[in-house]
Structure 1
């Protein structure tokens, strides 16, 4: 894995979490997980997901015992905060995994297939430059947009219902324009990212609509 995508401090923090067992029933997904696979950009936050119920208040307490944890949200199915100065979130997430975990520092890492499906959800919700860049990188690494649609349907069973929203979101960059460009390892321009994703989306629109 491309460990240089995480700072030394982030790697130490992740190893501490792995050794503690506090996230043993969860898996790391999102940008940090994808960056470990592809090495395309730096990432500075940890997004954990678990199919098992958990108590956000208890996990918050346990993290405070392990290190310095500042809570932002601790209710329902969500815990969001900062652990040892690294952004951390932990969510109950009841969707099936479609690929096997990888392991890094005793942490479960979601498969690229799962991350790909989840990235489409993130872009539909309110995509940032990071989300579109991650999608761009997946396409450059050999998964075309239609492959990603199939992974989304395999995980969520909602492609037919949401195809219009997905296609529209993939050509809506206004919200992303307001977000910061992540620190890149593999250099790419925002214009290149938009161009490739728009072209892929237009290519598929005629097939699905």
Structure 2
């Protein structure tokens, strides 16, 4: 599969080239909005979120990157979590103990990416907590790519062992927090009003089935 590298600006592309090999060597895969944008090409993205299932020492990881020539600047740490910047681009490394549903994708650039179904499950988990505007755009892009809401919710249930869907269905049509967010830079003709209308229609259809 060819990745949509055009969704990255020059700075983000340089950052990816500078650190992805080291992230992959430590067992991380790329997920989140950038991983999805690289696969679907629907919007620009400017940060990198790397995940692995096993625990790690964030300070040791930062030192390891430095020893491998990665221009990583640490900004904050928590248990098995490291946030920082590479060439001015935000980069995060996170322990995430929810196994992938599907084997990660080899993008042909020396690192692996979570596949759309897994990212969709993570997007629903994010929306259930506090949906950012870009999360709703990503869900609609997934739907346009053939991953309907029913399949995404099934993936969400499987990955996070969720039974009660009332909260996530309510959260899917709660846009107040996202109204304060900036519009993502799109590679498609979607707009915020259309995204909200699309998701409301999906939820109505699912609730009525």
1:25 aligns with 2:50: no
Determine helix, strand or coil for the equivalent of 1:43.
Answer: coil
Shift of 1:22: 5.9
| Alignment match of 1:93 (pick from 81, 92, 96) | 96
Distance 2:61 2:43 in 1: 29
| Matches of 1:67 and 1:49, distance apart in 2 | 18
Q: Provide the rounded CA distance (Å) in 1 between the counterparts of 2:196 and 2:23.
A: 40
Residue 66 of structure 2 corresponds to residue 51 of structure 1:
no
TM-score normalised by the chain length of structure 2: 0.92
Listed as ranges, the gaps of 5+ residues in structure 2 are none
The match for 2:63 is 61
CA distance 1:16–1:25, shift in 2 (3 Å) = same
Q: Which blocks of at least 5 consecutive residues in structure 1 are unaligned? A: none
Count of residue correspondences: 205
Q: Any conservation in 1 of the 2:23–2:50 contact (CA below 8 Å)? A: no
- 1:1-209 to structure 2, matched below 5 A, reads 1-20=3-22, 24-65=26-67, 66-104=69-107, 105-158=109-162, 160-161=163-164, 163-207=165-209
TM-score (norm 1): 0.92
8 Å contact kept, 2:22–2:65: no
Structure 1 pair 116/23, CA: closer, same or farther in 2 (3 Å)?
farther
Distance (Å, rounded) in 1 between the aligned partners of 2:170 and 2:105: 32
